[in-house]
Amino acid sequence: MSDPEQFSLSMSDADALMWNIEKDPLLRSTIVTVNRLDRDPDWDRLVDKIDVGAQLIPRLRQRVVTPFLHAGPPHWSADPNFDLSYHLRRLRAPEPATFDTVLELARTAAMAGFDRARPLWEFMVVEGLADGSAALIMKVHHSITDGVGGMRLAMMLYDTERDREASAPAGDPTPLPLLAPLGLLVRAVDHNRRRVLGIVRRSFGQARAVGEAMFRDPRGTVEQAAAVGKSVA
């Protein structure tokens, strides 16, 4: 199983931005993919496969927790009420049960926000299409993975051979840290302290570089600074 320590508990600035703008329907960072299957999958086997995947990939069992008073970046915490049946669902395709029906379901899923108290992913199996096929709609928040990571995730979760041996039953999941908004205040203070020190160090380094450049080429440095100021304006 994957070591939870390999997955950072603190969101990066980019992921935190995508998480915070999630509240605006026009700015949601949701990845939705549609996989076409040649027939209805074996439901029990699929559930077992995804269950094993959720044990191997900690992010699938973690939800987002924000420090008290938003004092620092959001963190990934274990979901104490993780329920696979919420994240993996199945339904019979409504009429006319064509692939366009599946695409419409995917569009609706893409427009809907995530439950912010749960892990940020949802899979939906659409069975009973008119041509005998089926589909799997995957919905994942961009803070969990990007497009390339999503493809790697799919390769871990799905079999590429029809008669491949079933996955081994999932054992007890690797324990994940359970965080609370108030308890994250200490982490937030330490995070902000390290960020300020980093800014100060970089500022001194940049000031020194500018001073050396002014000494070597005063005119060129001034002209470059003027060009940058004009570009910013």
* Residues acting as catalytic residues: 142
d(CA 58, CA 56): 6
Residue 185 identity:
L
Contact (Cβ atoms closer than 8 angstroms) between residue 57 and residue 7: no
* DSSP 8-state secondary structure symbol assigned to residue 162: T
What's the start-to-end Cα distance of the chain, in Å?
52
Buried b (16+ CB within 10 A) or exposed e, 82-119: beeeebbebeebeeebebebbeebbeebeeeebeeebb
Tokens of 160: 């590429």
d(CA 224, CA 233): 14
Burial of 223 from C-beta contacts in 10 A (0-12 / 13-18 / 19+): exposed
Contact (Cβ atoms closer than 8 angstroms) between residue 33 and residue 150: yes
